[in-house]
Amino acid sequence: MRHDLKEIYQAFDGKLIGNKQMKIFVCETLLSFPQNIIDTVTSTCWFFASMEDAWAFTFTGNDLKDQHLIFLSDELLFQNRDQIRYTIIHEIGHVILGHRNSVLERQTKEEVKKQEKEADEFTKKYDK
C-alpha cells in the first residue's frame, strides 16, 4: 500500500513536533521508503524542531519509552531541500540500522565513524 502525505502525517499520531515546513519535509521524505520502514519510523520515531508558538516542551519518560527522538535544527531547515532530505534519511538510517547514541553512550571514534559511514550508505540507497 502506498501512502500519501496525509496518511504518513496521521500515522505519526502527534510525534511530529515542530513547524509545518519540518512536518512536510519529514512526510515527503518518507514517501521514498518501502512500507516496512515507513511503519517503523512512524511508530517508533519522534521528530522534533522549533515551533513558532512554543519556546519549550516537556516530555515524560513514558512519552519516549522505546522510541527514538530525531532533532532537526532550525539551521538545517534553512538549507536547500536536498540537504534537508539527506539529513532526515541519514538520521532515519541510524534508527533502522540499530545504531547506539554516541552522545549518551561511550563509543570509540572508530565505532562512531563506522556508524556514520553506514548511515551515509543507507542514505545513498534511499535518497532518490
Tens-place pLDDT, residues 12-55: 999 999 999 999 999 999 999 999 999 999 999 999 998 777 77
d(CA 32, CA 92): 12
Contact 111, 79 (CB under 8 A): no
User: 57-102: per-residue pLDDT in tens?
Assistant: 777 777 778 889 999 998 999 999 999 999 999 999 999 999 987 6
Side-chain-side CA neighbours of 102 within 13 Å: the count stands at: 11
Predicted pLDDT of residue 1: 46
* 40 secondary structure, DSSP code: H
| CA distance readout (Å), 50 to 38, 43, 54, 122 | 23, 21, 8, 27
The sign of the torsion formed by the CA atoms of 30, 31, 33, 35 equals positive
C-alpha cell at 93: 538510517
Please check the confidence at residue 104 and state whether its pLDDT lies above 80. no
Predicted pLDDT of residue 45: 95
Predicted pLDDT of residue 75: 92
C-alpha cell at 123: 542514505
Predicted pLDDT of residue 71: 92
What is the model's pTM?
A: 0.88
Please name every residue paired with 28 in a beta bridge, in sequence order, or none if there are none: none
The Cβ of residue 126 has, within 10 Å, a number of other Cβ atoms equal to 19
